[in-house]
Structure 1
């Protein structure tokens, strides 16, 4: 839900501030770049989320077995871990045990698995 809110925020702001440079310049001028909810921070978070999905599916393609734990752990380590502190990294690591299987994920995505071949 947090990710969807950030995407909606960016979609709304593009109605009034079209060029990306203008959006970033405005946040820089207002000293909002690091503030929660700023457009530039939302853009960064959305980009990282897309990067995470990309790396996750790349890892799913090269990892054997039905577990998502290893692909998700590798994707997290590459995309998000460098930006998180120790406590968040440990919480994410613990959460990896609750992930669905590859088959369950594909079922949720209405895929039959041929996309992985």
Structure 2
């Protein structure tokens, strides 16, 4: 799980750098904020699952379902906060960065191990 979260962090930084080069400072901040709207909830979800697996008896399905609900609610709350607090959002950079971070785990799925 830690590798996926670290990969999402790297994907967020790379997407923000590319957005900054192509669209300026507003695009850079928008891409960072879009990536964080995905990265932070996923990190909290992974932390919750990790701590629940360390408990006696391990994780149960309700832990996963409740964590997934919290992850979705946190994502929506962060997106709402960005829209409300940052008026200069570059929507293309914001949405594309969110999608890049959201789908970055596919890189690990197609990675070959000897």
Using structure 1 for the length normalisation, give the TM-score.
0.38
More helix, by proportion? 2
Q: Between Structure 1 and Structure 2, whose CA radius of gyration is higher?
A: 1
Q: Which one has more relative contact order, counting CA pairs under 8 Å at least 6 apart?
A: 2
